[in-house]
A and B are shown apart, each in its own frame.
Chain A
Amino acid sequence: KAGVTQTPRYLIKTRGQQVTLSCSPISGHRSVSWYQQTPGQGLQFLFEYFSETQRNKGNFPGRFSGRQFSNSRSEMNVSTLELGDSALYLCASSRDSGATNEKLFFGSGTQLSVL
């Protein structure tokens, strides 16, 4: 079974630009979450999607948005990039059978550098 796939692996952008990151979850997984990781800040939760609906949201500005498609693939978009948006963006999927939290499977991430 293929793991969680994130593209692209690396990205360099300049301030003011926008960026779209893609995540393909493990086949059969219905929940996709996005995290921002910077050194010393741990994993900052961005949002979670389930059945094409945003189920949970973190404390990020509206410049950060996401969506999920009917095949569970997800994209996140960051508009008007700032230097502080430089980070590793991780996507995680879970089966989400509805009972309780299930383990997350993370992708390798997209390393975004904003110059």
Chain B
Amino acid sequence: GQQVMQIPQYQHVQEGEDFTTYCNSSTTLSNIQWYKQRPGGHPVFLIQLVKSGEVKKQKRLTFQFGEAKKNSSLHITATQTTDVGTYFCAGSNAGNNRKLIWGLGTSLGVNP
């Protein structure tokens, strides 16, 4: 069945360093969403990408959707302690009743 792989599973960085998490799908996606879950919290929507090659920025966060619409990345520039949490990607295949397939998440730790 359709799978979404997310790497790395964990990453610890020093505050001020950059961080990237990658999401790879076994099939072409119609769109991909990114969520952030703070420790003890619930997932919060960050962004949705729809177009091939799309790049969107939110302050220090840059989101990309691959040309083939099978992979995506989230890059954080100059991490801060407030970036700590788990980042999930979730992709949808339009032919699958728009069911979201979730990656296992990347847990980010930031050392002050």
Q: Which of B33, B35, B103 makes the CB contact (< 8 A) with A101?
A: B33
Q: Tally A-B pairs: CB < 8 A.
A: 53
Asked if A64 CB lies within 8 Å of chain B CBs, one says: no
Q: Which residues of B78-112 are within 8 A (CB) of A?
A: 88, 90, 92, 94, 97-100, 102-105
Interface string of A55-77 (1 = CB under 8 A from B): 11000000000000000000000
Q: For the complex, what is the distance from the CA of A109 to the CA of B42, rounded to whole Å? A: 7
Of chain A, the residue at the smallest CB distance from B44 is A106
Most chain B C-beta atoms within 10 Å of own C-beta, residue among A33, A42, A44, A106: A42
Q: Are B45 and A101 in contact (CB under 8 A)?
A: no
Pair A42/B88 contact, Cβ less than 8 Å: yes
B45 touches A105 (CB 8 A): yes
Cα distance A109–B31 when bound, in Å? 26
A70 → chain B closest CB, angstroms: 22
Cross-interface CB contact of B105 among A42, A90, A107, A109, cutoff 8 Å: A42
Residue B43 is within 8 A (CB to CB) of chain A in the complex: yes
Interface residues on A, range: 20 to 34
A106 to B43, CA, bound (A): 6
Q: B48: which A residues are within 8 A, CB to CB?
A: 101, 103
Per-position 1/0 for B13-33, Cβ under 8 A of A = 000000000000000001101
Which residues of B are interface residues toward A (Cβ below 8 A)? 30-31, 33, 35, 41-45, 48, 50, 88, 90, 92, 94, 97-100, 102-105
**B-contacting residues of A (Cβ < 8 Å)?**
33, 40-45, 48, 55-56, 90, 92, 100-101, 103-109
